[in-house]
């Protein structure tokens, strides 16, 4: 290289104190940078497939869960007209929304009932105010009759209009003078197509009659120049003597709950596409018209569950420290040959299937199980006084302490192995008693191991699901069991997602602490 730079400096007018050059004549700095960049690219190319894989199969699901915990599009999707109609309404000023809102909810529930989405919305809003689910179901059944007099008037005036033909003509024309009708037609066409029918031949909904009648009564014909003009004029005259439908009275007749301000306040509260409602619910709070309030004592659940999860995880962590410390201490102070043998006792449970260990505890702790049989046989307890050790908190704590004990022993052992025995010997030769030497010299050096093991055990414990589910009964279950319940049984996915997000944040904070104290790179297996 130096040859090259010498020759080039001789040939070209490069000053001798100029940049150092690489073999191909480029400046060395540039050449090295290029090599470094190539190295970085190669490393990234090797990592990229896995990174993309994890992002798609793992990070995206987690993001989806976080999104679901605040997402609330169901109200604005199922009740689009109502959401617009109550947008301006202030529940504090007038207890009930304007009459437009009753017409809007009639139309929305009509469409939703045809699509069979009204029950889904009903159960969603029922999480917030009980009674909405049955209100929606009842309204979905009865809503067909609300506009009966318009249907009769139109069918009597022009019997042709009982069939699909003219409605489709009007719908296809989509004349701007009939916006309300076009809106209803769009829903009709969408729902018919979705169920595999042709909207042009499908029996028209009552809603189409009502929508058209309302347009005609409002004087839409003055600006109308589309098809079927004469028929529409005929209908307009036929509708004149018909008394207008009072939607508010009609809806209240369907179910008097429609006069309940709470119902409307709930719909208004949950109309926006995003809601803190699930998180408030997870924190035992409620989002009502008067703002955020704490739920009644009897309805609070999650605070207690989070508290229990934390308390039981702490108990389990303490139990693993108490049981694990002596084992790790002895193993670290015995000759390698013997401690390797003892290690098998720790590693075999560690490697054994979680379900095997849980089933073992289920068998052992039963009232007719091995431990109770043994205690009765020894005579410690009477046959009719068998201990209840399963399907309660005791069962969860015993089984989980057993399952998580290796997670405590392994980090403790690896820290204790690095403590030089000469320190304790020095302390003793300076006159310390055994206890002082241990407590003042050995123990402080083993604290990092306790810290690492505790955080590890605690992180794993608070997210545990399987063992509490199988041996915890009702008093020994964790927050994760509640999450599973909301996913698979109550189907309140938003609440499950909110609870999961809270748990995730707790774990990430703990993990961040673990990283600061121990470091991710020090995670060791087996």
Partner 1 sequence: MAALPPYTTLGQRIWHYTFRTIVGLVLFFLIAPILVIIPLSFNAENFFTYTPGMLALDSEAYSLKHYRDFFNNSDWQQAMRNSLMIAPAATLISVGLGTLAAIGLSQSHVPFRRAIMAILISPMIVPLIISAAGMYFFYSRVGLQGTYLGVVLGHAALGIPFVIITVTATLVGFDRSLTRAAANMGANPVTTFFRVQMPLILPGVISGGLFAFITSFDEVVVVLFVGSAGQKTLPWQMFIGLREQISPTILAVATILVALSIMLLTTVELLRRRSERLRGISPG
Q: Among residue numbers 344 through 403, which ones bind partner 1 (CB under 8 A)?
A: 344-349, 351-364, 366, 368-370, 373, 402
Which one of residues 36, 218, 233, 509 is an interface residue with partner 1 (CB under 8 A)?
A: 36
Nearer to partner 1, 12 or 520 (CB): 520
Question: Is position 526 an interface residue for partner 1 (rule: CB under 8 A)?
Answer: yes
Q: Name the phi and psi angles at 293, rounded to 5.
A: -135, 155
- Region from 73-81, 171-179, 438-446, 459-467 binding partner 1, contact rule CB under 8 A: 459-467
- How far apart, in Å, are the Cα atoms of 112 and each of 105, 117, 141, 190? 10, 5, 11, 12
Extended strands (E) in 77-179: none
Q: The tokens of 485 are what?
A: 């319940």
- Give dist(CA 23, CA 7) in Å, integer: 11
Q: Measured from the CB of residue 259, what is the shortest distance to partner 1 in angstroms?
A: 37
- Give dist(CA 314, CA 461) in Å, integer: 9
Nearer to partner 1, 225 or 368 (CB): 368
Nearer to partner 1, 99 or 359 (CB): 359
Q: Measured from the CB of residue 393, what is the shortest distance to partner 1 in angstroms?
A: 18
Residues 464-523 that bind partner 1 (CB under 8 A): 464-466, 469-470, 480, 483-484, 487-488, 493, 496-497, 500, 503-504, 507-508, 511, 520, 523
Which one of residues 23, 32, 59, 381 is an interface residue with partner 1 (CB under 8 A)?
A: 59
What residues contact residue 236 under an 8 Å CB cut-off, 6+ apart? 216, 217, 221
Which one of residues 174, 301, 336, 381 is an interface residue with partner 1 (CB under 8 A)?
A: 336
Residues 149-178 that bind partner 1 (CB under 8 A): none
Please work out the total of residues on this chain that contact partner 1, with binding judged by CB under 8 A: 92
Q: Measured from the CB of residue 467, what is the shortest distance to partner 1 in angstroms?
A: 10
Length of the chain: 526
Nearer to partner 1, 6 or 48 (CB): 48
Q: Measured from the CB of residue 47, what is the shortest distance to partner 1 in angstroms?
A: 4
Q: Measured from the CB of residue 366, what is the shortest distance to partner 1 in angstroms?
A: 6
- Give dist(CA 21, CA 414) in Å, integer: 51
Q: Measured from the CB of residue 272, what is the shortest distance to partner 1 in angstroms?
A: 21
Residues 314-333 that bind partner 1 (CB under 8 A): 323-324, 326-327, 330
Which one of residues 39, 94, 201, 475 is an interface residue with partner 1 (CB under 8 A)?
A: 39
What residues contact residue 91 under an 8 Å CB cut-off, 6+ apart? 261, 264, 265, 268, 289
What residues contact residue 307 under an 8 Å CB cut-off, 6+ apart? none
Instruction: Determine how many CB atoms are found less than 10 A away from the CB of residue 457.
Output: 28
Nearer to partner 1, 149 or 357 (CB): 357
Q: Decide: 381 and 300 in contact? Cβ < 8 Å.
A: no
> What angle separates helix 479-488 from helix 302-333, to the nearest 10 degrees?
130
Site string for partner 1, 281-320 (x = CB under 8 A): ----------------------------------------
Which one of residues 32, 47, 292, 318 is an interface residue with partner 1 (CB under 8 A)?
A: 47
State how far Cα 187 lies from the chain centre.
Answer: 31
Nearer to partner 1, 20 or 36 (CB): 36
Nearer to partner 1, 123 or 234 (CB): 123
For residue 285, give the H/E element and its range.
strand 285-288
Q: Measured from the CB of residue 465, what is the shortest distance to partner 1 in angstroms?
A: 4
Q: Measured from the CB of residue 406, what is the shortest distance to partner 1 in angstroms?
A: 8
Instruction: Determine how many CB atoms are found less than 10 A away from the CB of residue 187.
Output: 22
- Give dist(CA 522, CA 381) in Å, integer: 47
- Helix, strand, coil shares, percent, the chain, to 5: 70, 0, 25
- Give dist(CA 310, CA 156) in Å, integer: 70
Q: Integer distance in angstroms from the first to the last C-alpha of the chain?
A: 50
Nearer to partner 1, 173 or 460 (CB): 460
- Give dist(CA 237, CA 334) in Å, integer: 104
Instruction: Determine how many CB atoms are found less than 10 A away from the CB of residue 319.
Output: 19
- How far apart, in Å, are the Cα atoms of 276 and each of 69, 224, 288? 8, 46, 12
- Region from 195-203, 268-276, 296-304, 338-346 binding partner 1, contact rule CB under 8 A: 338-346
Nearer to partner 1, 25 or 61 (CB): 61
Nearer to partner 1, 180 or 324 (CB): 324
Nearer to partner 1, 153 or 495 (CB): 495
Q: Name the phi and psi angles at 291, rounded to 5.
A: 100, -160
What residues contact residue 25 under an 8 Å CB cut-off, 6+ apart? 4, 8
Nearer to partner 1, 271 or 310 (CB): 310
Site string for partner 1, 403-432 (x = CB under 8 A): --xx--------------------------
Question: Is position 446 an interface residue for partner 1 (rule: CB under 8 A)?
Answer: no
Q: Which residues pair with 291 in a beta bridge?
A: 288
b/e code 20-53 from CB counts within 10 Å (16+ = b)? ebbeeeeeeeebeeeeeeeeeeeeeeeeeeeeee
Which one of residues 11, 45, 243, 382 is an interface residue with partner 1 (CB under 8 A)?
A: 45
Nearer to partner 1, 212 or 328 (CB): 328
Nearer to partner 1, 220 or 319 (CB): 319
Q: Measured from the CB of residue 274, what is the shortest distance to partner 1 in angstroms?
A: 16
- Region from 192-200, 285-293, 387-395, 458-466 binding partner 1, contact rule CB under 8 A: 458-466
């Amino acid at each position: 290289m130096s040859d090259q730079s010498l020759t080039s400096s001789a040939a070209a007018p490069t000053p001798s104190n100029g940049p150092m050059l690489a073999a191909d004549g480029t400046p060395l700095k540039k050449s090295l940078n290029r090599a470094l960049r190539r190295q970085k690219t190669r490393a990234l190319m090797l990592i990229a497939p896995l990174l993309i894989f994890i992002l798609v199969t793992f990070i995206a699901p987690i993001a989806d869960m976080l999104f679901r915990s605040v997402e609330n599009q169901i109200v604005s999707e199922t009740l689009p007209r109502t959401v617009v109609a109550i947008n301006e309404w202030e529940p504090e000023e007038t207890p009930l929304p304007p009459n437009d809102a009753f017409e809007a909810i009639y139309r929305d529930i009509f469409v939703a009932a045809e699509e069979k989405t009204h029950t889904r919305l009903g159960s969603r809003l029922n999480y917030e105010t009980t009674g909405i689910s049955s209100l929606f179901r009842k309204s979905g059944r009865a809503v067909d009759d609300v506009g009966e007099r318009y249907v009769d008037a139109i069918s009597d005036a022009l019997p042709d209009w009982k069939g699909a033909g003219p409605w489709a003509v009007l719908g296809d024309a989509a004349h701007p003078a009939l916006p309300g009708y076009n809106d209803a037609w769009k829903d009709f066409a969408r729902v018919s197509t979705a169920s595999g029918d042709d909207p042009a031949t499908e029996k028209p909904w009552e809603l189409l009659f009502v929508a058209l009648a309302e347009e005609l009564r409002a004087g839409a014909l003055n600006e109308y120049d589309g098809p079927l003009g004469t028929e529409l004029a005929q209908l307009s005259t036929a509708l004149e003597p018909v008394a207008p439908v009072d939607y508010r009275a009609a809806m209240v007749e369907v179910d008097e709950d429609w006069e309940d301000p709470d119902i409307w306040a709930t719909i208004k509260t949950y109309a926006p596409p995003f809601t803190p409602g699930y998180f408030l619910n997870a924190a035992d709070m409620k989002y009502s018209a008067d703002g955020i309030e704490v739920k009644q004592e009897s309805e609070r659940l999650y605070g207690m569950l989070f508290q229990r999860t934390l308390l039981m995880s702490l108990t389990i962590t303490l139990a693993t420290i108490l049981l694990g410390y002596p084992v790790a201490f002895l193993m670290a102070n015995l000759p390698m040959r013997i401690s390797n043998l003892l290690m098998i006792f720790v590693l075999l449970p560690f490697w054994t299937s979680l379900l095997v260990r849980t089933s073992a505890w289920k068998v052992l702790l039963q009232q007719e199980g091995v431990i109770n049989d043994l205690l009765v046989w020894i005579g410690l307890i009477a046959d009719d006084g068998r201990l209840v050790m399963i399907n309660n908190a005791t069962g969860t704590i015993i089984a989980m302490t057993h399952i998580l004990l290796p997670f405590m022993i392994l980090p403790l052992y690896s820290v204790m192995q690095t403590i030089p025995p000469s320190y304790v010997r020095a302390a003793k030769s300076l006159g310390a008693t055994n206890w002082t030497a241990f407590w003042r010299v050995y123990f402080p050096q083993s604290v990092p191991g306790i810290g690492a093991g505790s955080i590890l055990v605690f992180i794993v414990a608070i997210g545990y699901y399987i063992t509490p589910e199988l041996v915890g009964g009702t008093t020994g279950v964790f927050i994760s069991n509640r999450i599973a319940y909301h996913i698979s049984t109550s189907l309140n996915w938003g609440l499950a997602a909110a609870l999961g997000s809270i748990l995730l944040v707790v774990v990430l904070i703990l993990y961040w602490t673990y990283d600061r104290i121990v470091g991710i790179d020090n995670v060791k297996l087996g």
